[in-house]
Structure 1
Amino acid sequence: MSDFNEFDQQGSAPNRDTGSIISHAFEMYKGVFLYALVVMIIYIIGDSIIKSISGFNSYTNYSDFKDFDEDAYKEILFNRPGMTLYYSFTGLFTILLSPLFVGLIYISNKFNTKIPVEFSDLFIGYRQNLGNILLYSLITNIILTIAAMMCVIPVFFVFPLFLLGYPVLLFENANAMDAISKTYNIAKENYGIFLGTGILSALISISGVLLCCFGLIFTYPFIYIAMYSVYCAYLGKPRQITYK
């Protein structure tokens, strides 16, 4: 059972502009980096298991396709052995892992408010509001997948509409539909800032690709910390959650 207690004035909240939000997220990320690394190690282990089961190799050398036209490229790329099974299991695994990213948001809040962090804090998403977290993840992943199928670019314009969802689910114990509604309504009224923050945080998160993809283990979780910073900017520093 959880209680929501008002905490003191410790901790910071960024201004409502993209630069301030990203800077705040960087400060938070430096403090919770080791926990973010643990989450990514868990993800990589799960991804490796799924690859071995499906027989799919996502690291194909794309230079092999350089002599094909666009239609032939797509035909070969999307008909590789094990691809359908791999992406099906990966999608499910990503949804099941979403409470861990919620845990990162929770740890960011504890770090921000100078409250000692425990390793078990990383799993708060599995103890509180789990059903709504999983449902929210399922709905948003379906929407973002559809956007990605439209030449990828639309994802950058749709994703900002969901920046506040996970923090709302955590700190307000909201249901999935209320979280979607709340984040959408706030984002559409401040879309320019949400768009800038979403694009920058996404680029930072995927910047690890430049290090032969391995760097993603260090950069990918940043986007979830940015969600916390956006929440602080637009809804204030959240109340600290404690468990009896």
Structure 2
Amino acid sequence: MSEFNEFDQQGSVPGRETGSIISHAFEMYKGVFGYAVVAMIIYMLGGYVIQLLTGFNSASMMEEVRSSGEDFNYWSMPGLPLYMTFSGLFGILLAPLYVGLIYMVNKYNTKNPIEFSDLFIGYRQNFVNILIYSILSGIISSVAAALCFLPFLFVYPFLLLGYPILLFENASATEALGKSFNIAKENYVTFLFTTLLGGLISIAGIFLCGIGIILTAPFMMVVMYSTYCAFLGKPRQIMFKP
């Protein structure tokens, strides 16, 4: 069981402008960088194992795409449907890990000691609602992406605060979704530019020989935390009791 306690603590809060939020996220990311890399390695190792189990080969698919061009049929690749199913389930099960990274960022911001076990707090704190939210946000994002990539970019800002709300306010999945939507709706331009800039930084690692994505991808989780601080204030410290 966990308790929420609020007390005087150190910690910074960014302004409600995109530049201030991103700058704050950079400062926070430096403090949890190593743990963020661990989370990404877990994600990539899981994806590799799923490829082995399903027989799907992403490298082979990329070669086929380059040689076939627009005529390439993605679903003709061996093991792809099974890979998509299991990787989707794996992504949902990893959502609490992302929440754990947000928790670590808050501990760093409030000058509290960070422990490796903090990365897994999402599996102990509000676990079911985190999974439900991951499914709901995944469905929303998938539908938006299926309509073309641009709708996804315009929809994602509404999901930006969901995970921090689930963690710091112990909210239900629907409460987190609704609150995130309402705050983003009132501050949409800032949320949109923050999402775009944070997303660009997160995928920047692709240009560092591809493997650099391990270093940059988790940045978006930190952007979520900094945005939460900007619009809802410094979170209450979670005191977890096993």
Larger CA deviation: 111-120 vs 148-157: 148-157
* Cα deviation digits, residues 210-236 of structure 1 (max 9, x gap): 123211111110000100000000000
Match of 1:135 in 2: 132
Task: Name the CA distance, whole Å, in 2 between partners of 1:223 and 1:158.
Answer: 15
- The answer to whether residue 60 in structure 2 is matched with residue 82 in structure 1 is no
Find the residue that maps to 1:117 and give its secondary structure: coil
Conserved 8 A contact 2:61-2:77 = no
Q: Describe how 1:1-244 pairs up with structure 2 within 5 A.
A: 1-60=1-60, 62=62, 64-66=64-66, 68=68, 70=70, 72-73=71-72, 76-244=73-241
Q: CA deviation at 1:78?
A: 3.4
CA distance in 2: counterparts of 1:116 and 1:212, whole angstroms: 34
Q: Structure 2 length normalisation: TM-score?
A: 0.95
* Count of matched residue pairs: 241
Superposed displacement of residue 55, structure 1: 1.1
What are the Cα deviations for residues 101-129 of structure 1, in whole angstroms up to 9, with x where unaligned? Answer: 00000000000000001111111100110
Provide the TM-score with structure 1 as the length reference.
0.94
- Give the secondary structure class of the aligned counterpart of 2:234: coil
Q: Which moved more, 1:111-120 or 1:209-218?
A: 209-218
Structure 2 gaps, min length 5 = none
Code of the residue aligned with 1:188 in structure 2: it is: K
**Aligned residue type for 1:50:** I
Contact preservation (8 Å) 2:14, 2:24: yes
Stretches of structure 1 lacking an aligned partner (at least 5 in a row): none
Relative to structure 1, is the Cα distance of residues 15 and 57 closer, same or farther in structure 2, using a 3 angstrom cutoff? same
Greater shift, 101-110 or 213-222, is seen at 213-222
Q: Work out the percentage of aligned pairs sharing the same amino acid.
A: 60
RMSD (Å) for aligned C-alpha atoms = 1.4
Describe the SS at the equivalent of 2:170: coil
- Alpha-carbon offset, residue 2 of structure 1: 1.3
